[in-house]
Amino acid sequence: MAFTAVVKASPFKVKGMARIASHHPIPSCFAISLFFFMGVEYTLKMVPSSSPPKDIGFLLTENIHGFLSTRPVFNSLLAALNTVFVGMQAVYVGWVFLVEERPRATIAALFMFTCRGVMGYCTQLPLPHEFLSSGVDFPVGNVSFFLFFSGHIAGAMIASLDMRRMKRRRLALVFDYLNALQAFRLLATRGHYTIDLAVGLAAGFFFDILAGKYAAWKSNIMPSGFYQGADCSCCNGNCR
């Protein structure tokens, strides 16, 4: 009876809540998941400090990791191909800046790598014990290894978003596919934790939006150079 009285007195009645859920299913699922993970947070036992970190992505790629650990030549081949993909990202970002005179992707990459450097320095995560290194991986020779967050994933996301703005959808799909393979390899070789990849993906979106806002702001105070005129036919120059 008390619960019924609360429901009737509340401005959010049952029908209203059902209508909200039907019109906004995704936020409603997030709301349900909020309460679920609140329960998980208070019942899940943390990993002891003497144990290695627990990573679901590592568990899912355990067989691939075992396969690569016994085949160092094949592991280096995959590392070399991944380094080529990183080079493709850099070439594309440089091309759109120097040749097409569109600085947004370059600004996003600069913002992203600066933030990654600061965060990687402030919180230095331990390199996984099962990490499979290769001299042809990037960073070359593993000279430095900031784990959080993944610049590989974020850089590819920035390039893919720029391709979509310019209606280069097929090329964007190729980059997305290679990015997924890259993420799988990074997990299998223990080159990144799962959270590094997830945040790297979000960082690509965030810094692309931030660079777009920066470009729009500069276009208002500097109506010349890179920020003047239309950039493409789809958005009257807003996709720079």
Domain with 21 in it? 14-44
Same domain, 139 and 211: yes
Instruction: Check if the beta carbon of residue 196 is closer than 8 Å to that of residue 128.
Output: no
Residue 221: inside a domain, yes or no?
A: yes
Residue of 85, 49, 93 lying closest to 208 (CA atoms): 93
Same domain, 114 and 139: yes
Same domain, 70 and 187: yes
Same domain, 26 and 111: no
Query: Interior CA angle at 134 toward 139 and 154, to 5°?
Result: 40
Residue 22: inside a domain, yes or no?
A: yes
Task: Report the residue count for the chain.
Answer: 240
Report how far apart, in Å, the C-alpha atoms of 11 and of each of 22, 117, 122 are.
Answer: 18, 48, 46
Residue 118: inside a domain, yes or no?
A: yes
Same domain, 81 and 136: yes
What pTM did the predictor assign?
Answer: 0.80
CA atoms within 13 A on the CB side of 65: 19
Structural domains counted in the chain: 2
CB atoms within 10 A of CB 83: 17
Same domain, 26 and 96: no
Place of tokens 């806002």: 213
More confident residue, 123 or 66: 66
Share of the chain above pLDDT 90, in %: 52
Residue 234: inside a domain, yes or no?
A: no
Residue 151: inside a domain, yes or no?
A: yes
Instruction: Check if the beta carbon of residue 153 is closer than 8 Å to that of residue 185.
Output: no
Same domain, 120 and 176: yes
Same domain, 67 and 158: yes
Whether the per-residue pLDDT at 180 is higher than 90: the answer is yes
Whether the per-residue pLDDT at 225 is higher than 70: the answer is no
Residue 2: inside a domain, yes or no?
A: no
Instruction: Check if the beta carbon of residue 147 is closer than 8 Å to that of residue 127.
Output: yes
Same domain, 191 and 119: yes
Q: How confident is the model at residue 204 (pLDDT cuts 50, 70, 90)?
A: very high
Residue 129: inside a domain, yes or no?
A: yes
Same domain, 124 and 100: yes
Same domain, 38 and 61: no
The confidence score (pLDDT) of residue 144 equals 66
Whether the per-residue pLDDT at 7 is higher than 50: the answer is no
Residue 240: inside a domain, yes or no?
A: no
**Active site residue ranges:** 152, 192, 196
The confidence score (pLDDT) of residue 98 equals 93
Same domain, 30 and 143: no
Whether the per-residue pLDDT at 177 is higher than 80: the answer is yes
